[in-house]
A and B are shown apart, each in its own frame.
Chain A
Amino acid sequence: MARIGVFICHCGENISATVDVDKVARLAGKLSGVAYSVDYKYMCSDPGQTLIVDAIKEHKLTGIVVGACSPRMHEGTFRKAAEKAGINPYFCEMANIREHCSWVHPKSDETTRKALDIVRTMVEKVKNDTALYPIKVPITKTALVIGGGIAGIQAALDIANAGHQVIMVEKSPSIGGHMSQLSETFPTLDCSQCILTPRMVEVAQHPNITLHTFATVEDVSGFIGNFDVNIRLKAKSVDFEKCTGCGSCWQKCPSKKIPDEFNAGMSFRTAIYTPFPQAVPNKPVIDRANCTWFTKDGKCGVCAKICPTGAIDYTKEDEILNIKVGAIVTATGFDIKHSDFFPEYGYGKHPDIIDGLQFERLASASGPTGGEIRRPSDGKIPETVVFLACAGSRDKAKGIEYCSKICCMYTAKHAMLYKHKNHHGKAHVFYMDIRSAGKSYDEFVRRAIEEDDVNYIRGRVSKIYEKNGKLMVVGVDTLLGAKPVTIEADLVVLATAVVANEDAESVAQKLHISYDKHKFFAEAHPKLKPVETNTAGITLAGACQSAKDIPETVAQASAAAAKTIILFSGNELTREPVVAIVNRSAAPVFTTCTGCFLCQEVCPYQAIEREEIRDRAGNLLMNAAKVNAGLCQGCGTCVAMCRNKSIDLQGFSNQQMLSEVMGLLNVPFE
């Protein structure tokens, strides 16, 4: 038999000014099931809470309704009080008679009547409450970091330094990402590899980090604290235990005409290769798609013959490695659009129209031209270089309406690097706006303009075509009244749009995380949750979430690491018990669930699992739905979907909601 206590708060005058709180308390006391009803000036205060605790004990109350402010304010406060008094905190409900009643209506009988209606509704709900207990989920304290660029490296180091195990998976043969391709970084013009490679080595040598390169994530299942991941370790064809990194193999490899990805296609590499001299790990792999031994049925084999330690192994197959992790940091990075995206600039037909990464390789000391800016077509030093900012970005017609954030800065950097290496050369930049909002960023751009004599023209380029060996860049100068400007360039650098990787969509689907129409991964809240995703336990770091520069990437990576470390800080994960539950009973019924799994289809959190119901002999009777309480967020969409009411939401059950509606409407006012 329910013994409900009703506590009506005056909230100073906030409620009592328009609601006759005395009358509400009095009439509430007459409701069926209410054993005690009282009003008080400030329920949330210490004496107020003491009043409640004492009343529960004295009157042996089984549940309470506090008629006061919004549950969004003090539900927690009063639930703790209930717990203190010895009853399950989920037998406490709040009737919102302040925000929804006293504050929005004038003093009248009608307002008082409404307050009583609201109280009565919640009394009916409490009568149907069940005791709920917090859910505890175990945690595996190992993190998986997908991606070995600067974002993944930073996150991995932070988590490893906090004392937890990290497994890093990188799809290329070396970690380092795009940052390793850069020559210098803005705004300091630090040598990129000089600041990156020590971190790369730290990752490789860290006792808490296990590095898998030339590997991809095959599939992910499980849930926060308990992910089950399969990693595909692609066959390197080189036994890293035996390989010493001496380099004899790639020096002798006869397949020398493979476009080098690291040099953005501007030079060639061999089939057995390390991507760059400072690669980590610094051991080669074989690109089987371009290796004669593999493509021409065993012809060749030079590397195997030459290798002093016999490390070459053509027979090695891909391996699947299964790992159990508690959290995943997604740091898969980005790509850029290439010059063949631009029909008005010749569809990539001209080798001297290049993109930003290609320029970085030209400017790099370790690049195809030893750091000299030379035209890819004939190797000559260009006298006039034109840089196009916003090539593709901020352009609805091109389908990329966003700003790629980093190009204004790296264009200024490129122009400066060119001028530093060619004092007599002429550099022009066609821009729309200059976005240099970071620390020391605007000063950097001013330096390009004022010290390095880079000519900034505000206007876009409509066409680039080749004439008499020169590239005619046809643009406009809007600050001179839209005057058409044609510059005869020797080299053109397009600051193309930052885009998501080609495989971004498939990675997101494997992880069950959301992504936007541009395939950038979706954060849980654009303002307040920039590193979490809607999938509990999976965080984002770096450009895979949106275009950003290195300082922001590092900051975000540390934030993702922090979230991971928070998760690992306890031994268990405690969650609110407002979760769905599918009914189960004894044989022969087992459950009223028919196994249609409509609930599974609509659950945004993949919280519904299939459970095999078997008889004692082990025969499969049926597949029924089962809620993973660790993943369920308590939205209840599944409950409304269920055709025969086999699944219910604790805390907002069918019975509770019905009793609220009936309680509200059925009882005449006295």
Chain B
Amino acid sequence: MRIGYYPGCSLQGSGKEYSDSLFAVAEKCGIVLEEINDWNCCGASAAHALNHDLSVALPARTLALAEKQGLEQILVPCAACFGRLANAQQELVSSEPMREKISDYLDMPIKGSARILTVFEFLQEHIFPVADQHIVNKLNHKTACYYGCLLSRPKELTRLEHPEDPMEMDKVMEMAGAIPIDWAFKTECCGAGLSVSRTDIVAKLSAKIVEDAVSRGAESIVVACPMCQMNLDLRRPEINRQMDKKSDIPVMFVTQALGLSMGISADKLGLNSHFVSTGKVVSCVGRKEL
């Protein structure tokens, strides 16, 4: 089964560690991800704020290319890209006039037939079945699984089993030998794209998230969205200014955590590229089981 791959802008840029760790884990498990040729930016927040047709056409082009490449499944790890692609596909499939119009704009045929996978679905369907044999380390620490907004809403597209209290990432972390905690900010917003224009808002919102995780004893925050990772990690100085007590809790991608448990080196997983040191978490591996 060929699995298509759409990195989107973030996974090639600021979220590169997500991509690196994803590929490392896939390689370990013998899975090949086929990048979509000539993919373009999904339009992110900018497109849908400006023009509806544009916001559908941009991701639709990528979908059309994937179809042309013969890909029946596409993995889209970035939460925002997933949202845009899934939404565009929904529009194409539910309105024949829309589909024709977009196909016209693109000058390419498009059916909207490819199955778009969330990172959780990918892990569940392709990694879980073979993971056991590859897990060599237990992560041995309490972790707060942070889903954020775009991985959990709208619930019809994101398909989480319990959108208000998701457990998909928690299950992955359990498999990796960590102890996912029950906490209150799983799906609260980190500030998203306001990271640059209103860093103060990101600071306030993300501080609440960090504060709750830390107060409940978490030693790491695990995410599956490059924006969330950036806000919780890169903006730590601003976050710290909002909190009573500064925190150095590391923020890593779920694929990084999983890779660690599979014995892949921290370096290869990009764990040394974060702003808040992940040293403590890496050293949890191999320590006495909690």
| Contact surface of A with B, Cβ cutoff 8 Å | 343-344, 346-347, 463, 465-468, 472
Contact = CB atoms under 8 A, between A and B. Distances in A.
A467 B208 CA distance: 12
Contacts of A472: 184
Given A343-B165, A463-B188, A467-B212, 9 more contacts: A343-B163, A344-B164, A346-B165, A347-B165, A463-B184, A465-B184, A466-B184, A467-B184, A467-B215
A234 B171 CA distance: 46
Interface in B149-183: 162-165
Nearest to B211: A467
Nearest to B182: A349
A343 B184 contact: no
- Mostly helix, strand, loop or mixed at chain B's interface? loop
Contact of A343 (B164, B188, B212, B215): B164
Contacts, number: 16
A219 B160 CA distance: 43
11 contacts: A343-B162, A343-B163, A343-B164, A343-B165, A346-B165, A463-B184, A465-B184, A467-B184, A467-B215, A468-B215, A472-B184
A346 B184 CA distance: 9
B188 to A, nearest CB: 8
Interface in B203-237: 212, 215
Contacts of B184: 463, 465-467, 472
Contacts of B164: 343-344
Nearest to B183: A465
B51 to A, nearest CB: 28
A652 to B, nearest CB: 46
A466 B164 CA distance: 15
Contacts of B188: 463
B246 to A, nearest CB: 20
Nearest to B184: A465
Contacts of B162: 343
Contacts of A344: 164
Nearest to A468: B215
A465 B162 CA distance: 16
Most A CB contacts (10 A, CB to CB) among B162, B163, B184, B215 go to: B184
A472 B165 CA distance: 16
Interface string B12-48: 0000000000000000000000000000000000000
Nearest to A343: B164
Nearest to B162: A343
Contacts of B212: 467
Nearest to A464: B184
Nearest to A397: B155
A463 B163 CA distance: 13
Nearest to A466: B184
A508 B188 CA distance: 43
A291 B215 CA distance: 45
A623 B58 CA distance: 68
B121 to A, nearest CB: 21
List of 7 A-B pairs having minimum Cβ-Cβ separation, nearest first: A465-B184, A343-B164, A344-B164, A343-B165, A343-B162, A347-B165, A467-B184
A124 B19 CA distance: 86
A343 B167 CA distance: 13
B112 to A, nearest CB: 26
Contacts of A468: 215
A347 B186 CA distance: 15
A105 B31 CA distance: 80
Contacts of B215: 467-468
Contacts of A466: 184
Nearest to B188: A463
Nearest to B166: A343
Contacts of B163: 343
A467 B165 CA distance: 16
Nearest to A347: B165
A536 to B, nearest CB: 44
A337 B162 CA distance: 19
A472 B162 CA distance: 21
A538 B162 CA distance: 42
A467 B215 CA distance: 9
A465 B215 CA distance: 13
A670 B184 CA distance: 89
A465 B216 CA distance: 13
A343 B164 CA distance: 6
A346 B164 CA distance: 9
Nearest to B212: A467
Contacts of A346: 165
Contacts of A465: 184
A468 B215 CA distance: 9
A467 B188 CA distance: 15
A495 B159 CA distance: 29
Nearest to B216: A467
A467 B184 CA distance: 8
A140 B162 CA distance: 54
A466 B183 CA distance: 9
Nearest to B185: A465
